[in-house]
A = this chain, B = another copy of it.
Amino acid sequence: MSSKTADSQWSSVNQFLSENAARFEEQLKALIRIPSVSAQPAHNADTRKAAEFVCNDLNGSGISAKLVETAGHPIVLGRSPRLEGQPTVLVYGHYDVQPAEKSDGWDTEPFEPVEKGGNLYARGATDDKGQFFTHLKAAEAWMKAGGGLPVNVIYVIEGEEEVGGANLEKFFADYASELACDYAVISDTSQWAPGVPAVTYGLRGLCYLEIVVHGPKTDLHSGMFGGAVANPLNALCRIISSLHDASGRVAVEGFYDAVTPLADWERAEFAKLPFVESEFASRLGVSALSGEAGYTTLERKSARPTCDVHGLWGGYSGPGPKTVLPAQAGAKLSFRLVPNQSNKEIANLFRQHVAKVCPVGVTYEIIEHHGAPGVVVQTDTAGMAAARRAVALAFESEPVLVREGGSIPVVGLIKDQLKVDTLLLGWGQNDDNLHGPNEKFSLSDFHKGIRAGARFMAELAE
């Protein structure tokens, strides 16, 4: 293909994107309205509906797609028409979302998208419906206006990212030969700031656990029995409290043993990024930032391992007082990990720790939810260069190279099973409040993301 032909095709693709922008937004809203909460069995039918929506959208663009059934939620698998001699990209996304109830603090119904100030507010707007959908629209533009995709693209859009489903691993194993590719691309991260696009080269891993502490076999009256038996709520707090020392470091023995220290160049890059701690604290509404001593806030939240509790339950939390000494109490918690920590090993260290600190008179059980190792990908590849050029063109600014604090377990899985690096091209913003109330996504970034996704294919084509 001559450069002139390529320019003319790109021009057509670009025009198609502009002319169809409003329709793309309506399609995204329709997808968001499906409450595909993978964690909640009551939403299983909705979750499937979202998968079918994605599958139909791909097929409508001429990308051959189907649902692959799993033991849990189905996976959408699509493939562009084969182009010999061109590289292959695997686009991964997830159509499932975190739980959301208006009563969690939402200003509007979480599954009814609302436009305000150039943003779309809804659960899944940025994580990940709004982001992965950009690649579907980029594909549509090439198929309908550019004479087909300039490279081979495989689409894997799954429905268990938010519950760490084990089914994707089996899928990758079963379909390994069909999924052979040169790069994976995922849009499920953030830009550095408005106007400062980013390509992410590192992610933290995750070890998500739940602990349930059992005391007396039935709830007791604290007046009659308080002082006689260990209280599971008090015991749980003692266990949780023991997970950090006074300097904010995780106090689980061996926790830091495998940690790859931050390289000097990385700390220098972190220091150069535009970031004002006081403004950040003010935006979050906290009186002070806090965490592991010896690291900057950016380092702590992006590239250092941590431990956070996600939920506590037990006893009475209704209105008014109740003097119950409850039979059990529980907590959900996770460790964020960095290379080279193993989530399986960290779960073992946690078990050993609890065995040491659990007060007498209670028993406990530990449930392991999903996990993922931390990852850092190569920054000097042709794919990375193509991605940076595409982002620079679409967002009209050179992207910064960053590490992010979140976990995308599939990046590790792709590395393990398909032996390729993932290009993390995030279109979100740090205040998108994913997983919280009033999640949002910039509509302008939505369209830039589509354009960047489309351009990336052209940049990668040989």
What is A's interface to B at a CB cutoff of 8 Å? 38-41, 98-99, 104-105, 162-164, 190, 204, 206, 208, 210, 215-231, 233-234, 236-238, 240-244, 280-281, 284-292, 297, 300-301, 304, 306-327, 329-332, 334, 336, 359-363, 369-370, 404-407, 430, 433-438
Contacts and interface: CB of A to CB of B under 8 A. Distances in A.
A317 B226 CA distance: 26
A367 to B, nearest CB: 10
A320 B39 contact: yes
Contact of A163 (B190, B301, B321): B321
A187 to B, nearest CB: 15
How many copies of this protein are present in the complex? 2
B321 A317 contact: no
26 contacts: A39-B321, A40-B320, A99-B318, A105-B327, A190-B224, A218-B436, A220-B284, A222-B310, A222-B334, A224-B434, A225-B301, A226-B336, A226-B405, A227-B301, A227-B306, A234-B244, A237-B309, A286-B362, A287-B361, A290-B359, A290-B360, A310-B316, A310-B323, A310-B325, A315-B332, A322-B332
B227 A300 contact: yes
A17 B238 CA distance: 53
B286 A361 contact: yes
A419 B405 CA distance: 65
Nearest to A189: B224
Given A310-B325, A315-B311, A287 B222 contact: no
A334 B240 CA distance: 20
Contacts of A405: 223-227
A183 to B, nearest CB: 23
Contact of A435 (B301, B323, B331): B323
Contacts of A331: 233
A315 B315 contact: no
A304 to B, nearest CB: 6
Contacts of A363: 287
Contacts of A290: 228-230, 359-361
Contact of A314 (B297, B311, B320, B359): B311
Given A164-B321, A317-B313, A216 B430 contact: no
A384 B50 CA distance: 74
Contact of A310 (B215, B297, B322): B322
A227 B280 CA distance: 13
A117 B220 CA distance: 21
A229 B310 CA distance: 14
